[in-house]
Structure 1
């Protein structure tokens, strides 16, 4: 979905929203096939956002093959692997500060651009494609110890039934746990014809054997057996914090609320970096010794560097 629609926010009466609704409904009635073609392009075309962070030292680039097309991969560090997966209209570059932190603790961080995102191939994207891309990457990356996922990427990870994920800890950042409700709400806010949008959703579901009615990230989170840590900002405009609070009722879920970090900036916050350190330490005790050896001056330098390279809030909130 176009970033302008997906990242819209509710408001009072909008003449533009009313006009969009009238035009899209009329188009659908008069030329249904053409309307579906235009709507598919609109709703399934993400924004290819430019890199939002400088590449960490030692970053390696390579490609992986997916049923959704060629995927651009990024790797830094050595050791047990943590896989990172971004959300809609995002890119792997959002994870670069976190990947550097992961590498500093003795792990290998591997991220990738989803189909039609970043530098990966493809012209369309959707949650079945996200899930398939995650599964294809897991088939090609060895020694995965855990997964970090942001926004819609978190929903896709929870939807994945890849056997490797069964026994892995997860760090979810600003997850969209009410995916279907969130999706339809954002389209409703845009004013676009819900009937036309629903036809596109059903069409994608049929093509990929993945009906949208089966997508239930919150329910599937509850069914997991291993620890999940969630970092989520209370003022997140794009992923419901109140829904995430429900997940905190699960014994295997630990919620870390933040304030003032929004939907994107939270990815490179001290809260998220520390959340990774704590979660990784539970699976690899060697992390404790690495972390204790980090001096306070190093921590301050990392924080200053993050503040210097941080882009505007609107650019990061993807």
Structure 2
């Protein structure tokens, strides 16, 4: 077992070293090719996590988005709450949210984005996707179930949810963003640092992303999207201070700029366990149900 793990680790390190060397070379001699490769790697979806058990009483559904099949499950009747997972995730990661929302008189709708979970591929092809495909999946689901009382999103799912609202594909009275990815450009920069490409490929990634999605990279940013939404619905942001995947500091900063936003901070729940924390679920449900008291940029904490 230990030998096998060592061999696997060695293979991964070797492949990563080759990748870095390749990007250093293409930065100098073929930056357009390097940009296409980097963008393809970025938009490649990771393997979906193992499915989580779903609460009883749900009904499966299918809709079509961008010629791809989007599969999901819904529970209950009443005002609709959409649950939008993040990159590499799946709808059932919100399993803990279903019964608390259903029991308060809501229809709860979760789905897998294109090339995620049980859904089929979209225009990007098998095992590839991007934020617009996420947003169009939400658009297709909302066309089936109607306007939202609230949209609850996790991680990267926050950006396409807000994009869908900004572009008129879906409306919502309230928003909950858990561990949101605040802007895509920051993660492109980090990706370049990790795999070793420079400014020529980095600029090319921006151009390639616009070609593939139809949107410039700076459109995939919560601040930019929110500035076009007047007014922005009351928004609850919940983020763990020790999240290693998305930036707590960026979430805290953006809440300061939104007039009807509240930040709830957690400590030690990380990026994924936060979705299973009872206090996080209850805070989200309270926000969906009613105005958040004293929400003028107040910061609460969940232990």
In the comparison of the two structures, how many residue pairs are matched? 270
SS at match of 1:230: strand
**CA RMSD after TM alignment:** 2.7
1:125 paired residue number: 129
Contact map agreement 1:231 1:271 (CA 8 A) in 2: no
Query: Alpha carbons of 1:164 and 1:17: their partners in 2 closer, same or farther (altered >3 Å)?
Result: closer
Alignment deviations for residues 211-265 of structure 1 (CA, whole Å, 9 cap, x no partner): 1133331243365432000111000111111111112323200111000000111
Which sits farther off after the overlay, 159-168 or 61-70? 159-168
Shift of 1:68: 5.5
CA distance in 2, matches of 1:16, 1:162: 40
Do the aligned residues in 1 keep the contact of 2:139 with 2:169 (CA within 8 Å)? Answer: no
2:266 pairs with 1:258: yes
Aligned to 2:115, what secondary structure does the other structure show?
coil
**Secondary structure class of the residue paired with 1:168:** strand
Per the alignment, residue 113 of structure 1 pairs with 112
Q: Deviations over 1:7-61 (max 9, x none)?
A: xxxxxxx887554321233356677787566545422220131334211111221
Secondary structure at the counterpart of residue 263 of structure 1: coil
Q: Residue 149 of structure 2 aligns with which residue?
A: 145
After superposing the two structures, state which structure 1 stretch, 126-135 or 36-45, moved more: 36-45
Q: Distance in 2 between matches of 1:276 and 1:146?
A: 10
Residues 1:267 and 2:271 aligned together: no
User: How has the CA–CA distance of structure 1 residues 19 and 193 changed in structure 2, closer, same or farther, with 3 Å as cutoff?
Assistant: farther
Q: TM-score, normalised by structure 1?
A: 0.75
Q: Which runs of 5+ in 2 are unaligned?
A: 1-12, 292-303
SS of residue matched to 1:163: coil
Corresponding residue for residue 97 of structure 1:
96
Match of 1:279 in 2: 287
Which residue is 2:161 aligned to?
157
Q: Is the 1:68–1:129 contact (alpha carbons within 8 Å) kept by the matching residues of 2?
A: no
Moved more, 108-117 or 218-227: 218-227
